[in-house]
Structure 1
Amino acid sequence: MNQYELIKKMSTKERRMQLFFSQGLFLLLAMILSFFLFDSFFNWLYLFNWNMKKIFIFGFLSALVVIFIELVIIYITPKKWWDDGGINELIFKNESVSFIFIFTLTVAICEEFLFRGVVQTTFGYVFASVLFAVVHIRYLKKPLLFFAVLFLSFYIGWVYEHTANLIVPIVMHFFIDFLLGLVIRLKK
């Protein structure tokens, strides 16, 4: 049974619980790894900076550019090239805007804490970017999707390197997921 069929058999409540459970695992892994890989747990404090100019330019505006590029690619390429097997539609299509907001914010925080905050900070930009792309396993069978998530991962990693601020990739990741989630929801 493939991933789509498994997710489709779940009730909305079960699907939501599974989605948040998987993100909770990323956050838990980030916290556990930080105890072993950081000199002090308080090193987390150095990863955050409320520089609103960088947050707006590199977080929000970058997200808008990425979304525009993705929508153009979706528009000009055959659906079979970028379709993830209907999984994103199952996740977002019939959900409320408030659920999409909360879920995509959770994803952005948990994934960026792990992949940029811990992995990239400790093991470097390339390793974190490739690992992030590989973890999105359902995209591995679709070359365009895999290239897109790999490119996005490297771009988010570069943004983190450039700004030295974990808030920026969190904001960027959130707006990309949230706005694309809304596009899926509003397409119904």
Structure 2
Amino acid sequence: MSRQSKQIQTMSDREVLRHLYVTQGLLLIISSGLGWFLLDGTAFERMWRWETATVVLYGGGGALLVLALEFLLLRYLPKEWYDDGGINEKLFQTRSLPHLLWLCLVIAFTEEWLFRGVLQTRFGLLAASLIFAVLHVRYLAKWFSFIMVMLLSFFLGYLYAWTGILWVTISAHFFINFVLAVHIRLDYLQAKHPED
């Protein structure tokens, strides 16, 4: 068992949640600070515009494509390829649906604002995607998971480059995370009550 896996197993539910909120808060502060210095008002207004059809088509459609591939791979690939040391299970398996919804909204908003809104807008798709993948440190030692995170980052970055609307990637990121979090929750409940 890796050091990270051992550490996550010794942490309480409250500690895991606290770490998540602190991390997301730091990302929000960093992205807001960098956005203030690196982006002009026009770029900021343009990325935050709302176009319902574009958000639904590209954000929702993009999420459906990723989820279809994800569930296909989950079905046919060895489970250990997806092992992240138990972090996702510890984070999502015991949460209520409203709490999962909130967590996924927070994560999608803060990460997309930093990686797509600030970094990609200022430094380009490649730099933003590499930083996104590297900051998901729990996947660095797992080649398959790292490749999947990298491909997801490039895909979300491409959606942003194509549309120029941050709500597209926020919605795609949210739906992907939320569906996978609910899947983890349902697997946990099924394992806990297999006779149901």
* TM band (smaller chain): over 0.9
Distance 1:61 1:176 in 2: 11
- CA RMSD for the aligned pairs? 1.4
Q: Is the 8 A contact 2:60 2:175 kept in 1?
A: yes
Query: In the alignment, does 2:8 pair up with 1:4?
Result: no
Counterpart check, 1:146 vs 2:141? no
Post-superposition offset of 1:83: 1.2
Matches within 5 A, 1:33-112: 33-40=34-41, 43-112=43-112
Q: Does the 8 A contact of 2:8 with 2:86 survive in 1?
A: no
Supply the distance in 2 between the matched residues of 1:118 and 1:55 (Cα, whole angstroms).
Answer: 19
The answer as to 2:144 corresponding to 1:134 is no
Q: Contact 2:116–2:160 at 8 Å: present in 1 too?
A: yes
- How far apart are the structure 2 equivalents of 1:43 and 1:51? 16
Map 1:108-127; keep pairs closer than 5 Å.
Answer: 108-127=108-127
CA deviation profile, 1:9-55 (whole Å, cap 9, x unmatched) = 33322221211110111110001112221234x74222112111111
State the distance in 2 between where 1:19 and 1:135 align: 13
Count of residue pairs brought into register by the alignment: 187
Structure 1 stretches lacking a partner, 5+ long: none
Residue 32 of structure 1 pairs with residue 33 of structure 2: yes
Aligned to 1:180: 180
Structure-1 separation of matches of 2:150 and 2:15: 29
In terms of mean alpha carbon deviation, does 65-74 or 177-186 score higher? 65-74
Corresponding residue SS for 1:108? helix
What is the DSSP-based 3-state SS (H/G/I as helix, E as strand, rest coil) of the residue aligned with 1:110? helix
- How far the C-alpha of 1:82 sits from its partner, in A, is 1.4
Judge which range, 135-144 or 108-117, deviates more: 135-144
For residues 72-121 of structure 1, the C-alpha deviation after alignment (integer angstroms, 9 at most, x for no partner) is 11111111111112111111111111111101100000000000010000
State the Cα distance separating 1:185 from its structure 2 match.
0.3
Corresponding residue number in structure 1 for 2:21? 20
TM-score by length of 2: 0.91
Equivalent pair of 2:63/2:175 in contact (CA under 8 Å):
yes
How far apart are residue 5 of structure 1 and its match?
2.8
d(CA) in 1 for partners of 2:88, 2:15: 16
Give yes or no for contact 2:104–2:174 (8 Å, CA) kept in 1: yes
What is the TM-score when the length of structure 1 is the normalising length? 0.94
